[in-house]
Structure 1
């Protein structure tokens, strides 16, 4: 019998050594080598408060500076989302703009919150908007609110400076229209793409060349596995890399992709920042591919702290060299075609052959050429959507009348 499991149980200390907290207390800060540390990251990296805050700011600016994409006075649309990452991003940007050194941030940020918290009541949503306004004002920023329902249902951009745009039934419209027609995996994918498309449209309207999204390392690692599971392997470099340049005029950047939640939570705590909190709904991890893979990565990270870092670095090395035919009409990702048929195309070809009623007066070669011509004219050979979006394309064309 296989004894690998027993070996892991009986000698687990060899693989995941126990951390003696008394030893941690005797350590010195990894950076200055003098002060007593108050922060422990990844089970081994300890920092004092000044060094931790300095390192966090340096890490944020290093990634932006290394890319050399943003020029002085460029307008950047910063996506605000509820939680520690966005609160930390607000403070990091304000801190960088206030500097009087060569390391000062020189771009002009514009903050936008996409209102899609439809599980909340009307009063709760208005309270959230009020709290976000307070947090933005604390950092001396103004923030605009985008009505997600108006974008999804009517393809129009409604921006507001407060909660006046909220209607009592706007959330019900989306829930009734899509929840009953899509499974949870397709629904999440649909809303994620629509949210990105909405932000790109807003960026163009506000003349912003870049968008900051507050995705952290666990989001990047999860999205990599999600892309593979949904058949979006060719989009990994765009969805999980630092820069998503699928749009010709607006680039989507992830300046927090190398941070984990613990780092940003400590950053907020040490700066006495209180992120906006909302009522959460209980999520079934088995209801969608996205939820399941997020649970898988998160739980694996708890036992093996290098998991997320390994996945992120692996994703950075993945590049697609497949011939691109064009862009998907929905997600704007690459649409490609292999020289050989994939499994779905082969199944469709087999179905076409089995239901084909040929003219008996035609030769075998003529019948084959007729079948081939018919197949090559189908949507399978001239796709308008990438593989993933083709699974929800019927909903994109549905007017919702039924």
Structure 2
């Protein structure tokens, strides 16, 4: 019965494909259609551009997160989605653009070649292509190697209060204030072209010595490159490597945004990419953080908000737009390039959704609409965002602070019981503790070791459930960047002191 229904479905799809030839535009009813987005949505070239531009600006106008005059950092990866996002921002800041954008853009590209095992020659070639593309935008841009995470300060892992609390709920007042400043300072010509607008506001950046703001790129030290490769080599699975890469990339973007005064970061995830993230994050145990990982705005950091204006677009729409309007993108190999489907949970989820989308075109949109309904209570989230303990890696509120009668605690009890050693195995452990840091294994097993490197058992309680699963696939936490280890040591000490004085604390 199922085979008969599937054959009927295939025959119906063939008939629909033959009927699509020679169709007219569904909007203007005059021009011939050059593409069909969904089953019945046929557009000509000009109508498709209007549709694409309107969706981008409607997404920003509907949510009202980006205020006029704010500095916004555009996270660029070289891919088609982020390239289309920069192109939309570039056109939205034009002189004669209706409903023009009024924020101050900057671009950030992170070179991840060392984590992917690329040679320095390959990395130089990729960076040169990126520079050629970004120089055409006339926006200020930064090109930072991923090795920079080993020089980040410890304050990166600390949440801060929102930068402009008076703007919250007063979007119209902020717009009127900005327009008044424009009229009062006509000599600044803030209503000029995109390049003029960017050049007027670049001079106020206060970047650190390790972060040039002129788009230059220098060879990172060999010690940092080897430390980065050692950290990724310590991860046993590709799933853990991708999770670590995502976390380090987020920390570096957050540091650049705070250093250069950006209050918003625009990320270019498409609807298709967010659908993959939805399925992969549920498989990785990040179901509690889906509103932050896949929603329009992510305010887990407090003073810097991540915005995803491309989340309404499918990958098909973005690909057609870039092809029709000559939007240039740069292909850069990643860890998942040429990897088998079952090499990681993320890659397997992507393969599953892509294949399902071929036969059932509403798959991605259905998953996207599902993720859109997941929200966090804004009042409770605003109060708990600073007060609750944060995960040491993903910086989300810890989801492991639950009652004793929970599935998580039952799992922990089972793990502790299974890891207990017999009584006759305690003697070798005592002899090992006397060696005091003669090797890295001593730091991981010894209980009386005075090393500054935190042990894995002290590192685990500071993580959420998903990051605990990731760290279990890492052979040694001593390969993590120094700012993570220092923060882990500080939090573990605070936790020990709190447990000692717990009975004297008031509720």
Moved more, 189-198 or 274-283: 274-283
SS in structure 1 at match of 2:291: helix
Flag structure 2 segments of 5+ consecutive residues without an equivalent.
Answer: 154-207, 422-456, 481-507
Match of 1:204 among 237, 254, 258: 258
Asked if the contact 2:91/2:97 (under 8 Å) is kept, the reply is no
In structure 2, relative to structure 1, the CA distance for the partners of 1:177 and 1:26 (3 Å cut) is closer
TM superposition shift of 1:102: 5.1
Matched, 1:164 2:164: no
- Alignment map for 1:242-253 (pairs within 5 Å): 242-253=296-307
Larger strand share, 1 or 2: 1
Asked if the contact 1:149/1:170 (under 8 Å) is kept, the reply is yes
Match of 2:371 among 309, 315, 339: 315
SS in structure 1 at match of 2:323: helix
- The corresponding residue for 1:361 is none
TM superposition shift of 1:96: 0.3
Flag structure 1 segments of 5+ consecutive residues without an equivalent.
Answer: 357-378
Distance in 1, matches of 2:223 and 2:402, equals: 46
TM value normalised by structure 2: 0.67
- The corresponding residue for 2:436 is none
- The corresponding residue for 2:4 is 7
TM superposition shift of 1:383: 4.3
- The corresponding residue for 1:359 is none
Larger helix share, 1 or 2: 2
- The corresponding residue for 2:428 is none
Match of 1:387 among 440, 465, 468: 465
Moved more, 312-321 or 91-100: 312-321
- The corresponding residue for 2:392 is 329
Asked if the contact 1:133/1:142 (under 8 Å) is kept, the reply is no
- The corresponding residue for 2:121 is 123
TM superposition shift of 1:214: 0.9
Asked if the contact 1:221/1:308 (under 8 Å) is kept, the reply is yes
TM superposition shift of 1:170: 5.4
Matched, 1:259 2:257: no
Asked if the contact 1:126/1:163 (under 8 Å) is kept, the reply is no
Match of 1:132 among 116, 130, 133: 130
Matched residues, number: 374
Match of 1:400 among 467, 472, 479: 479
Match of 1:268 among 308, 317, 322: 322
Task: Deviation per CA, 1:153-178: give whole Å up to 9, x if none.
Answer: 34368434223234567555423332
- The corresponding residue for 2:82 is 86
SS in structure 2 at match of 1:334: coil
Task: Deviation per CA, 1:90-117: give whole Å up to 9, x if none.
Answer: 2111100014355011000110001102
In structure 2, relative to structure 1, the CA distance for the partners of 1:127 and 1:75 (3 Å cut) is same
- The corresponding residue for 1:146 is 144
